[in-house]
Amino acid sequence: MSTTETHAEHTVDEHAHGADCGHESVHHDDHVDYLHDGHRHAEHGDHYDEH
């Protein structure tokens, strides 16, 4: 049996990740992810994708 874990959508308006946001950054391919509540966020338009 497999389970699917989902996370609430995080919008850029709620919290803008960046150099001084307080979250650890991780370079990932051609962008930067930010560690947030046990998962990574990558900015994508007006929201963050879960990685």
Task: Establish if 47 belongs to a structural domain.
Answer: yes
Q: Which of 1-10, 12-21, 30-39 has the lowest mean pLDDT?
A: 1-10
User: Which domain does 28 fall in, by range?
Assistant: 23-51
- The pLDDT value recorded for residue 19 is 81
Buried b or exposed e, range 5-42, using 16+ CB within 10 angstroms: eeeeebeeeeeebeeeeebeeeeeeeebbbebeeebbb
The pLDDT value given to residue 8: 58
1 belongs to a structural domain: no
- Please report whether residue 11 resides in a domain: no
Domain count, the chain: 1
Residue 15 lies in a domain: no
Entry pTM: 0.61
Under the banding of pLDDT at 50, 70 and 90, the label for residue 5 is: low
Q: Is residue 16 part of a domain?
A: no
Average pLDDT over residues 35-42: 82
